[in-house]
Chain A
Amino acid sequence: MILRAGSLLYTILICLILSIMSSGIIFLHYYQTLSFTDYLIKDKLMRDAKSAIYAYCHRVGSQSPTESFHLYNGSKDSINIQTEKWGIYEIVTSKVYQGHHCKTARALIGNELEKKRALLLYLSDNNIPLTICGKTFLNGNCALPKAGVKSGYIEGFVFTGSKANLGNIYSNQQIPTLSNDLAKLIDANVAGLNSMDFSDSAFVPLQYSQPFSDSTFTINSNKALYIEQNELDGKIIISSKIAIAVSMKSSLHDIILIAPQVKIEKGFTGSCQIFARDSVIIEEDVHLQYPSSICASNSSDATIPTRIYLGPSSSLAGCIISNATNNGLQRVDNLEIKQAALVTGVIYCTGNVNMQGNLGGSLYCNGLILRTPGGVYTNYLLNSRLDLSLLPNHFATWINDSDSANKKEIIKWL
């Protein structure tokens, strides 16, 4: 049989087709391997980034932002932790590197309030006993004046409630001081109202979301601001030199409000941190969700005492800090919590608290005030429920770097 030389062309053509098919298989495998390896590395890095935040919260590994570390023995990745204050809480960011891959995890954290170590009530000792009347219910360890607790009768209410597990710790003449860092942070936010650059033309966008991976979006207004129908969330700070009012139609999440006076109108639901100098008014049926906070602080030469008011049927999950400068014996309500209002978390007030509502957590104050049509009473509680068992497990309060014994708790992933 004689083959024609032209058949070489057919041979080359068939070979070309086979080569293309084979090369296709090779490329397919290559990309499959590449995407699988990529998936595995990214999955591992994401897991390690989250694990690094757990390690940071439990104070394991490096706490320094300049130092990178390995999470597990023999792991190829290196981890870098960065922290940044967000109000009274902290944003922790972990970056995990392996080769050219990098993954980031971010969380809002606070110090854990351990129920076992927490006090239900710290009432400073002004030689006046704590008097409980009506359906007052106390459950949890307390630090109380040496004069003790007695049942009373006021406005027709005899004590019919209960007290349990109060312990026998005596309080000092003043409540424990706030950590320096926190006091400075609150003062810096409030004092900033005098030094910040405020604009006449600043306006609040109707809808804005700023991711926590970006820089802070700030709005500094020279005028009073009314947040009416705005939807704002993320890394946003709104400050006004005069006042801020928030309507029930607005939606706020995780943002910070700073002003001399802040008012949240009836029916609002959302989460925010409020820093004020003079007053914070939370009207009826407002729900400030976890993690929210109200911090008020005035300067030592202030003539008007700081005032926080939490209206009836309102709730707040987080912290209330009133660093008022008036003496605890003065009959001024620095914090007033109305009937059926509920605070879950920690209340810290260097002044007086008019407590008519309910608390699931801890209350630190230099005095309790009760106002009735018949008079004003010191260290009286009437029909209030203070119950430490209502505090959820793993509840986080403000960041306290000096408290190295307590671990930090993740509030939410950002």
Chain B
Amino acid sequence: MKLVPGFSLIETIVSLIIITSVFAIITLSLSKVMESKNLNRSFELHLKIKNWAIETIANKDYIMAERTSGDISINRSFDYYRDDHSLLQMTITARDSKGTIETYNELIAIEDEKN
């Protein structure tokens, strides 16, 4: 019995399995390519957050703020860890329009001018 002229039944089945598998692999790899785009986005968000954190500490700019860059919005907030306001928790959260979220936490010892 021949489904395809020139091919035996077994050859046809093997060919179909191989072609299907290859299509599956190609589809999977394409989906991974799309995922890596998301990963790159996460990385971009992380870098933006980190740069802002470094800038915040360098400028001692410990005030709540928000920034937007394209479809990315970044929030910066602070919580005092101690009553004397000498230790601060900085939280920076970045999100984009597709719902990718990155969060960054750091404790900062405040070098105020109390002395």
Cα A75 to Cα B104 in complex, Å, equals 11
Is the CB of A11 closer than 8 A to any CB of chain B? yes
Contact A58 B14 (CB under 8 A): no
Residues of A within 8 A of B113 (CB): 393
Name the residue of chain A whose CB is nearest to the CB of B102.
Answer: A40
Is the CB of A4 closer than 8 A to any CB of chain B? yes
Name the residue of chain A whose CB is nearest to the CB of B46.
Answer: A40
Contact A58 B19 (CB under 8 A): no
Nearest CB on A from B85, distance (A): 11
Is the CB of B64 closer than 8 A to any CB of chain A? no
Residues of A within 8 A of B109 (CB): 54, 57-58, 410
Is the CB of B65 closer than 8 A to any CB of chain A? no
Size of the chain A interface, CB-CB below 8 angstroms: 44
Cα A47 to Cα B105 in complex, Å, equals 8
Is the CB of A3 closer than 8 A to any CB of chain B? yes
Is the CB of B11 closer than 8 A to any CB of chain A? yes
Contact B15 A22 (CB under 8 A): no
| Partner among B11, B39, B50, B115 whose Cβ is within 8 Å of the Cβ of A8 | B11
Known contacts A8-B11, A33-B39, A36-B39; A25/B6 CB under 8 A: no
Contact B6 A3 (CB under 8 A): yes
| Partner among A8, A15, A52, A54 whose Cβ is within 8 Å of the Cβ of B22 | A15
Cα A386 to Cα B107 in complex, Å, equals 36
Known contacts A3-B7, A15-B19, A116-B115; A25/B32 CB under 8 A: yes
Is the CB of B3 closer than 8 A to any CB of chain A? no
Size of the chain B interface, CB-CB below 8 angstroms: 39
Which of B23-31, B69-77, B93-101 contacts its partner?
B23-31
Is the CB of A51 closer than 8 A to any CB of chain B? yes
Name the residue of chain B whose CB is nearest to the CB of A8.
Answer: B11
Is the CB of B67 closer than 8 A to any CB of chain A? no
**When A and B form their complex, what is the total count of cross-chain residue pairs whose Cβ atoms lie within 8 Å?**
104
| Partner among B18, B28, B33, B87 whose Cβ is within 8 Å of the Cβ of A55 | B87
Residues of B within 8 A of A11 (CB): 15, 18-19
Nearest CB on A from B102, distance (A): 9
Name the residue of chain A whose CB is nearest to the CB of B11.
Answer: A8
Is the CB of A376 closer than 8 A to any CB of chain B? no
Residues of chain A from 1 to 35 with CB closer than 8 A to chain B in the complex? 2-5, 7-8, 11-12, 15, 18-19, 21-23, 25-26, 28-30, 32-33
Is the CB of B4 closer than 8 A to any CB of chain A? yes
Known contacts A2-B6, A60-B82, A393-B115; A18/B22 CB under 8 A: yes
Cα A12 to Cα B18 in complex, Å, equals 7
Proximity bits, A111-125, B CB within 8 Å = 1, else 0: 000111000000000
Name the residue of chain B whose CB is nearest to the CB of A33.
Answer: B39
Nearest CB on B from A32, distance (A): 6
Nearest CB on B from A48, distance (A): 8
Residues of chain B from 37 to 64 with CB closer than 8 A to chain A in the complex? 39, 42-43, 46, 50
Is the CB of B66 closer than 8 A to any CB of chain A? no
Nearest CB on A from B24, distance (A): 9
Q: Which 7 A-B pairs have the closest CB atoms?
A: A51-B107, A3-B6, A29-B32, A25-B29, A22-B29, A22-B25, A115-B115
Interface set of B (CB-CB < 8 Å, partner A): 4-8, 11, 14-15, 18-19, 21-22, 25-26, 28-29, 32-33, 35-36, 39, 42-43, 46, 50, 81-82, 86-87, 89, 105-109, 111, 113-115
Interface set of A (CB-CB < 8 Å, partner B): 2-5, 7-8, 11-12, 15, 18-19, 21-23, 25-26, 28-30, 32-33, 36, 40, 43, 47-48, 50-52, 54-55, 57-58, 60, 71-72, 75, 114-116, 393-394, 407, 410
In the assembled complex, 8 residue pairs joining A and B whose CB atoms fall closer than 8 Å, in A order, are A3-B7, A7-B6, A15-B22, A25-B29, A36-B42, A50-B107, A55-B107, A394-B115
